[in-house]
Amino acid sequence: MRQRKQRKQRKRYVRLWTVMVAAILLGTVGSGFYRTFAAGDDATYRGLKIFADVIDLVQNNYVDPVDTEELIHKAIQGMVSSLDPHSQLLPPEAFEELQIDTRGEFGGIGIVITMQKGVLTVISPIEGTPAYEAGIQAGDIIVEVDGESTKDMMLWEAVKKMRGPKGEAVAITIVREGAAKPLEFELVRDIIPIESVRHLTVKPGYGYIRITNFQENTTHDLEAALASLESGETPMKGLILDLRDNPGGLLNQAIQVSDVFLDSGAIVSIKGRLPKHTKVFDAHPDRDRRGYPIVVLINGGSASASEIVAGALQDHKRGLILGTTSFGKGSVQTLETLRDGYGLKFTIARYYTPSGRSIQAAGIEPDILVKHRFLEPAPEDDRMIKEKDLKNHLEAFPVLEEEEAEEDEMDEEVEEDETGDGAQNRTPRRRSTQNRYGPLDPEGLQADNQIMRALGILVSYDIFKNFNG
């Protein structure tokens, strides 16, 4: 009897360890893990045993039946997301959605969203889409999608629920600052083109280009926009490059866009723990020399790839940066394909501007600080959420172990100060997106004080360069 019980127990643990091996296979690429494990990492071995014990106890004793595979996926997700805010395990649906974001078009309602402090928040509506026409605004918090609460919902799940075939309706409920009660919208999905570059002549000789994100065809579209502006009757005297509320995108596109305006020198360098993740990307001489001055617009919504462009042009004195401090995402993620359609997005390096600056959790500081003029005044202490506000954000530079204790003490003091002045209770201010994401027409641009300030600088430069000192 005792032997039979022991055999059953061994079988149970064999089954559990089979599940564990499957989990590790799901979360790792190649055979590096097995080489490390075979080398006798006792801490890893003990940790896996504890993990197996927990799965066993939950599977056999929890009050309700549990899905073991789902538990393992959530465990891996928790492990990866604890590293930093931008690393995550992507189920097949999320992996597919992420790939869609960098190409072509999709069926949906037309909003850019993010997860800020656990709430699903609208970054901006996209011009001409159902969400834009219905009046969805930046800063709106989506609390329900088709009657289902977004609390504890993953970002990819929310995206998937709002995307769908053209012509089908989706209901969303939002909470808006200043609104007495939640607002309900029923939106009919449409085909949402992913158009990242738009341009317009704001004044003869002065062009305006807005880049809303960095996708596969951004550089090609930028060069086409420049060719159109440069072919006007009046020679180009200056360019306004608008990167406000640009959340980033593909690293290679940020490099190529910077290269359009630079002839030599470093564009960006990335430095990781491994030599293969450390590299410097240099500019190349351009066939079309563009000597006219550039003013680059940024704000707290400018992140990642847009910060690479702004930092490169700023360090090379190729563009004057105007606006407010950018988001501060200075890390590089890679996307690895796993088995069964899963993907793993994780951070492999920090990036640095040509002068060696890390903007991680700090952002790009504008050369000229100009706040956007809002239709409704906002309290002075209101601020947009930045990279440094995100849980588990990376520091600007790798932290040495002996420094961690001192930094922990400093962090505690800062947290006490923030609690005292109510900083933790602040909410992101609602920003007007009418001019940033509305139609590109001269009247709309003239209502934007940051664009008009940039235009004034360019015109002044053209006047002063002809003065004799």
Residues annotated as part of the active site = 304, 315, 329
Q: What is the CA radius of gyration of the chain?
A: 25
Q: Which residues contact 107 (CB under 8 A, 6 or more apart)?
A: 163, 164, 165, 166, 168, 189, 190, 191, 192
- Chain-centre distance for alpha carbon 454: 26
Which of these, 84, 25, 76, 24, lies nearest to 346 by C-alpha position? 84
- Chain-centre distance for alpha carbon 414: 26
Greatest CA separation found in the chain?
A: 104
**Counting beta carbons within 10 angstroms of the beta carbon of residue 45, is it exposed (0 to 12), middle (13 to 18) or buried (19 or more)?**
exposed
Rounded CA-CA distance 191/200 in Å is: 24
The DSSP-derived string for 263-324 is SSSEEEEEEESSGGG-EEEE----SS---S-EEEEE-TT--THHHHHHHHHHHTTSEEEEES
Pairing status of strand 111-116 against strand 119-125: antiparallel
Kindly list the distances between the CA atom of residue 110 and the CA atoms of 100, 321, 437, in Å, as whole numbers in the listed order.
14, 29, 11
Which of these, 309, 293, 289, lies nearest to 351 by C-alpha position? 309
- Chain-centre distance for alpha carbon 49: 36
**Counting beta carbons within 10 angstroms of the beta carbon of residue 81, is it exposed (0 to 12), middle (13 to 18) or buried (19 or more)?**
middle
